[in-house]
Structure 1
Amino acid sequence: MQTIAERLKITYERIDQATAQANRPSNSVQLLAVSKTKPVSDIRLAYEAGQRLFGENYIQEGVEKVQALADLHDIQWHMVGPVQSNKTKLVAEHFDWVQSVDRAKIARRLNDQRPAALPPLNICIQLNIDNEDTKAGVTPAQLPALIEEIGQYPQLKLRGLMAIPRAQVGVDEQQRSLTRLADLFAQYHTKLSDFDTLSVGMSDDLEAAIGHGSTMVRIGTAIFGERNQ
């Protein structure tokens, strides 16, 4: 059985190969290790192997891990799961990034509850690029209003877009979704100074995502194995 360090190495090799194939700089894509349902011991093993960016889907579980690993001062914690309004204070106090903002109310509460002693909270807007009824995120038509809203908040720093394109579709449809996403990102990347992150791509589709401009891939299973129930 492969170790977490070995799986991380293989994942970084996949990223390097995909960036080279896309004729992009070797350091243009970051790896976010998504550690939901995995024990703190697994995160420590990944940290010891050199990984520093970690993502959590569940707020209470994530906060417990942030607290348990407080001795690792250079870890960067990302909330990538849904944020309910009654949990925004926990997120604002413990995380460095929130990638799943899809409502003005959540953005406002995160801003108001971010401790003044901490730097502004890095924000990605979750985009429902395929307009799926069962998936969270704003539609492309709703995106400009939320970008304008977040831009008013001093304790938030808008960094880019996060998306989960439709699963199990043909190559052509996948490419159309990723192209639309890349076009929207490019539009605001040229307008906004800190808008530098396109978070798309997971264990099964990171190569396609990197080929369409992803700057951050969110990888769980390929690093930590199947999710614990």
Structure 2
Amino acid sequence: MTDLSHTLEAVRERIAAAARNAGRDPQSVALLAVSKTFPAQDVRAAHAAGQRAFGENYVQESVDKIEALADLRASIEWHFIGPLQSNKTRPVAERFDWVHSVDRLKIAERLSAQRPAGMAPLNVCLQVNVSGEASKSGVTPQEAQQVARQIAALPNLRLRGLMSIPEPETSLEAQRAPHRQLRELFEALRAEGLALDTLSMGMSADLEAAVLEGATIVRVGTAIFGARDYSL
């Protein structure tokens, strides 16, 4: 297992440096540790090192992990960030604090209907396909306003903002362009009266670009936990 206290600190330093370069308070950017494919003991170790928010992509894996870490529930925040099929919304609605990957109204409606009574509203982000890739989920930028308003009207959900997974780029300026597009869309929706406060964008390879363009949550996995082995 990677020495998670050291890798977490290195990522936090990257975030802080990028925030300072952007003239932002480093505290305005939250780190979401993406723990998909890594075992519960790695999450426990990261939690012991001070990390509190964790992102998961796969429903059954995350349910098992949440149950294995039930003793930490009061001090851990679970974010679902992967593609979500309509027949798998219930366990997510019942267990998670956030869903970043709401890519259509039907998913939001099911999450709202299945959120248990007595739980706080589920925080959600609308996923926007800023790169226009056929392989990526998300509404188009042109659809975002209408869908965002429909989601914001649902009970048991709180629409917090927008999320994107742009096509990978190597140069800083190329990385910044889709993040800038998402930020501009976010600002336009806020100007139209939607109470949004979250831009979920940026991963291990492009978190600096995302922070420079206004990310409030960066989703980092590899730089914290190491490379994933999908053959297991």
TM-score, scaled relative to structure 2: 0.95
> Is it true that 1:97 corresponds to 2:98 in the alignment?
yes
Partner Cα distance (1:121, 1:175) in 2 = 29
Secondary structure of the residue that 1:27 maps to in structure 2? helix
Unpaired stretches in structure 2, ≥5 consecutive residues? none
Partner Cα distance (2:118, 2:221) in 1 = 31
> Is it true that 1:227 corresponds to 2:228 in the alignment?
yes
State the partner residue of 2:75.
74
Does the 8 Å CA contact 1:38/1:228 hold for their aligned counterparts? no
State the partner residue of 1:156.
157
Deviations 1:86-125 (A, max 9, x none): 1011110010000000111111000000001101100001
Deviations 1:131-160 (A, max 9, x none): 111111110011112111112211000000
Does the 8 Å CA contact 2:53/2:77 hold for their aligned counterparts? yes
> Is it true that 1:215 corresponds to 2:216 in the alignment?
yes
State the partner residue of 1:56.
56
Root-mean-square deviation (Å): 1.3
Number of aligned residues: 228
Q: CA deviation at 1:200?
A: 0.4
Partner Cα distance (2:109, 2:68) in 1 = 28
Q: CA deviation at 1:13?
A: 0.6
State the partner residue of 2:123.
122
Q: CA deviation at 1:2?
A: 5.2
Does the 8 Å CA contact 2:201/2:210 hold for their aligned counterparts? yes
State the partner residue of 2:199.
198
Secondary structure of the residue that 1:227 maps to in structure 2? coil
**Using a 3 Å threshold, how does the CA distance of structure 1 residues 171 and 207 change in structure 2: closer, same or farther?**
closer
Partner Cα distance (1:85, 1:26) in 2 = 36
Q: CA deviation at 1:74?
A: 1.3
State the partner residue of 2:11.
11
Secondary structure of the residue that 2:28 maps to in structure 1? coil
Higher helix share: 2
Code of the residue aligned with 2:59 in structure 1: it is I
Does the 8 Å CA contact 1:199/1:217 hold for their aligned counterparts? yes
Secondary structure of the residue that 2:27 maps to in structure 1? coil
Does the 8 Å CA contact 2:36/2:57 hold for their aligned counterparts? yes
Deviations 1:142-195 (A, max 9, x none): 1112111112211000000110111135544433222211111112234223x1
TM-score, scaled relative to structure 1: 0.96
State the partner residue of 2:148.
147
State the partner residue of 1:38.
38
**Using a 3 Å threshold, how does the CA distance of structure 1 residues 174 and 26 change in structure 2: closer, same or farther?**
closer
State the partner residue of 1:113.
114
Does the 8 Å CA contact 2:145/2:189 hold for their aligned counterparts? no
Aligned-pair identity in percent equals 52
Partner Cα distance (1:42, 1:82) in 2 = 23
State the partner residue of 2:84.
83
Code of the residue aligned with 2:49 in structure 1: it is A
Code of the residue aligned with 2:219 in structure 1: it is R
Partner Cα distance (2:75, 2:2) in 1 = 26
State the partner residue of 1:137.
138
Secondary structure of the residue that 2:61 maps to in structure 1? helix
